[in-house]
Each structure stands twice: as structure tokens, then as C-alpha cells.
Amino acid sequence: LGMRRVTNYPYDLAFGPEDKLYVLCRTSGAALIRVWTFNDAERLTDDLVQIGAYGADEGQFQWPVQIITDSEGNLYVSDEATHKVSKFNPDGEFVSRWGTEGSGKGEFTAPTGISFDPEGSMVVADSGNSRIQTYDANGKLINQFGTPGEGEGQLRNPWGIHVDELGDVYVADWGNDRIQVFSSNGDVKMVLEGETPDGLAINRPSSVTVDQHGDIYVTDWTNNRVLVYDSNGRYVWRFLGDATLSRVARDYMMTNAYANRLREMANLEEEKYFRNPTSVRVDNQFRICVADHSSYRLQVYQKESVELDENSIAPPMRNHSLTTV
């Protein structure tokens, strides 16, 4: 979905009503929320809908990182340059923003990931202070955990964050090249790190999300891939991208001879792969959406699975061998 003139350097995305997509875009001197849809567009028009603009004033962004929505359709955006979180109503109108730069309790430096917990409190990845903080609806600090470092439970510039329906906090521990899963109290429950079967180790994970089945998705930014783990942290799969031209990009190509010449000269096999994916999100229809940052687009995949109950799988075997059958 999208193209450079529409979704320029997408950093994150959020889902809205009626197949609406809010795409958070940022690059040097430019930042905005592009309002798009799963249906893409047949034509590139001059009246593209956007929310916000580049700047430090209210309703503007400088280095936005993550966008989320609440149950009422309001939008929230973290900005690591202004050290604030901004709120917009469902119509895209600015409502308020909060945040104080610093390292004291309730303050943050370069907030990155944001997510709501089951109680409606906002959990914030305080990247500059390498910790996680939870705030109530009025911006009052409820809880915080994490200290700078490389040990288990410590963080180094956390980036993306996700809170599941049980209140567990999944953190893309960017500087430590791993995903850490914490209870709501900050106790470590699981760590995903190291090499996958293809011989590559997680390198600068930028986002993490969990679907309704409990499967975990990670954007492995440096390795240009998305990793999938089951709810127990067992590696399941990885995908590298398989993009085709979006409808709006195809229309643009049909009316631009110069762009067609460049495409004819390009290695199209390479063009389908991810380039520095920054975010992955899964909606309630199990559509997997990836912000393909350096290719200026979103890649969308449909998860297909067969749900099994506890009676569909035999009890654990004595050893991992078919001789036990």
C-alpha cells in the first residue's frame, strides 16, 4: 500500500474504523500522519488527508515514533524530539499533549513506544532513560521499571512496545538486540534473542506486537525481516517481504515514462524485499501490516492458521523421537 508521495518513510501505523489506516511518516524536516485505507487508491490526488505537520508547536511533530488509538478512536503519538505524547480526536483535531523532559519520576527523555494496558493506562518506553513507565489517563505516574544496562531485566534505548490482554509488556530492547517480556510489575517473563535457524541474530529490533492467538511478531530492523514466535517464545517463521506495486503506484507508473524507465533498469527481485522495516501490527482480521520504511510503503499479509484445542495435541513424549509412537 502507498508510495513515496503518500507514505514517505513510514515509521508506524494504527488501525481505524472502516478499514482506515493511520500511517505515521517521518523524515528530515517532515513528519505527519497520513490517513489511508486498506483499499489503497486508484488515483494519486492533490487532496491527500493528513493529520499534523512538522514542527515543535501543539499539533505538530519533529521525531514521532509510535501511534496508537484508544477505544473511542482518539489518536496518540510519541515524539522523541519534543519529549511529549500528543492526543488527537477521531477527526484529527489536536486535543492535548503532555510530558516533561528529564530523568526524574514521571519525566521522560525521548519517549518512543507507547501502548495501552487492559486498564486503559498508557505504558511508555522512556528510551533516553532506558526504562518503562506507566501513566493513568491524567498523565500521573503509576509505575516504572527497568534500569540502563545489558543484564536480564535491564534495557538499553528501548524502542517499540506492546501490552497484551493479560497486561504483559513486550519491549523491543533496541540497544541490547533482543525482545524482553515483563509482567505488569516489571518481572522478566521471557527473553527472545540470539540466532534464528538462518544463522542471523536479532539485530536492532524496532517493534514488537502480539496477535489474538498469542503469536509474537518482531521487526528485525538491521536484518530487513519480520520474525514470528509462538506464545512460548519458540521461533516459528520469518519473512523477508514479497511486495507488488500498489494500485496508486501502478497508476503513477502508467502516466510517468521516466519512472517506467527507472523501473525497467532496476532489479525487481530485490525491490520486493523489506528495507529497514520499523513496525509490524496485526488487526482483528489477522492482517499483518509492516511499515517498510526505506521503501516508502506498507506491506500487508494475511495470516492463515488452523486453531487447535488441547485435545488436538498429544501429551509430551518421553523423548523427541518417532520411536515413541
CATH number, domain at 212?
2.40.10.500
**Taking 60 as the threshold, does the pLDDT of residue 323 lie above it?**
no
Count of domains observed in the chain: 1
Taking only the tens place, the pLDDT of each residue in 139-170 is 889 999 999 999 999 999 999 999 999 999 99
- Asked if residue 258 has pLDDT above 60, the reply is no
Residue 46 lies in a domain: yes
Q: Is 226 inside a domain boundary? A: yes
* Band of pLDDT at residue 316, cut at 50, 70 and 90: confident
CA–CA separation, 43 vs 28, rounded Å?
A: 27
Task: Calculate the average pLDDT of the chain.
Answer: 90
Most distant CA pair in the chain: distance in Å? 68
What is the mean pLDDT of the segment spanning 94-122?
Answer: 95
Is residue 253 pLDDT above 90, yes or no? no
Angle at 42 between CA 36 and CA 43, to 5 degrees: 90
In the chain, the amino acid numbered 118 is: P
For residue 214, the number of C-alpha atoms closer than 13 Å in the C-beta half-sphere is 10
- Quick: pLDDT tens for 63-78: 999 999 999 999 999 9
Please report whether residue 134 resides in a domain: no
Residues contacting residue 122 through CB under 8 Å, at least 6 positions apart = 76, 85, 114, 115, 116, 134, 135, 137
SS3 294: helix
In total, the chain counts a number of residues equal to 325
Residue 199 makes CB contacts below 8 A (sequence gap 6+) with none
Q: What is the pLDDT of residue 70?
A: 95
Residue 266: pLDDT over 80: no
More confident residue, 276 or 267: 276
Asked whether residue 116 is domain-assigned, the answer is: no
Q: Would you say residue 111 lies in a domain?
A: no
Residue 184 inside a domain? The answer is no
pTM across the whole model: 0.89
Weakest-pLDDT range from 32-36, 230-234, 248-252, 311-315: 248-252
CA distances from 163 to 129, 210, 227 (A): 20, 8, 18
**Residue 63 resides in a domain:** yes
What pLDDT is stored for residue 15 in this prediction? Answer: 96
Q: Is residue 285 part of a domain?
A: yes
Q: Residue 55: which domain range?
A: 10-98+194-324
